[in-house]
């Protein structure tokens, strides 16, 4: 048995810390790909995990913008897939994006552990939503930036 330790990115207490945290995420992803009912929360889940692990998943300005705006689109916009498509198109042109120097250190009370332990699809989807809400409020200082990036992408398309 591995010793329980803390994932320094999201605070989850799991065997092997950060590595164990990533394993849980990957296990949930496998489920996502094997069952179409998970599809509607797939993008949100990837964005939520990225916002809790920006050291790995938001290194470039481009990945930063993609996950931040993805979260904004899912939680604040009516037409999230249309917004995501516009942002994607904009990002494919490699625009210059300044990533903020300071990212949140507190990234929400809910972690992948909560989503991983869901017993069925319905619970999974509900938990992803709760998780995303909690991550998003931890990122409240960057909501305006998300909005700005989205309007930039719209202006350029």
Hey, which residues does 5 pair with through a beta bridge? Answer: 14
CB closer to Zn ion out of 55 and 79? 55
Regarding 153 and contact with Zn ion (CB under 5 A), the answer is no
CB of 69 to Zn ion, least distance (A): 22
Say if residue 99 is exposed, middle or buried (CB neighbours under 10 Å; 0-12, 13-18, 19+): middle
Regarding 115 and contact with Zn ion (CB under 5 A), the answer is no
Buried (b) or exposed (e) across 68-94, using 16+ Cβ within 10 A?
bbbbbbbbeeeebeebbebbeebbeee
By CB under 5 A, which span of 4-12, 93-101, 123-131, 132-140 interacts with Zn ion? 4-12
Cβ atoms 58, 50 nearer than 8 A? yes
CB of 12 to Zn ion, least distance (A): 5
Regarding 12 and contact with Zn ion (CB under 5 A), the answer is yes
Regarding 10 and contact with Zn ion (CB under 5 A), the answer is yes
Contacts with Zn ion, 71-100, as mask; x by CB under 5 A: ------------------------------
Measured CA to CA, the distance from residue 118 to residue 33 in angstroms comes to 16
Q: For 13-89, list the strands marked E by DSSP.
A: 13-15
20, 21, 107, 125: which one binds Zn ion (CB under 5 A)? 21
Residues of the shown chain interacting with Zn ion in the complex, contacts defined by CB under 5 A? 7, 9-10, 12, 21
């Amino acid at each position: 048995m591995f010793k329980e330790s803390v994932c320094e990115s999201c605070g989850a207490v799991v065997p092997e810390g950060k590595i164990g945290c990533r394993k849980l995420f990957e296990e949930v992803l496998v489920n996502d790909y094997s069952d179409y009912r998970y599809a509607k929360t797939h993008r949100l889940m990837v964005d939520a995990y990225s916002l809790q692990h920006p050291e790995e998943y938001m290194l470039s300005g481009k990945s930063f913008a993609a996950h931040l705006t993805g979260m904004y689109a899912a939680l604040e916009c009516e037409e999230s897939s249309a917004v995501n498509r516009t942002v994607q198109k904009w990002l494919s042109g490699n625009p210059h994006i300044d990533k903020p120097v300071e990212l949140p250190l507190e990234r929400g009370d809910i972690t992948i552990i909560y989503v991983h332990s869901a017993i069925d699809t319905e619970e999974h989807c509900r938990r992803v939503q709760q998780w995303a809400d909690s991550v998003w409020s931890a990122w409240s200082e960057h909501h305006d930036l998300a909005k700005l990036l989205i309007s930039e992408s719209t202006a350029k398309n």
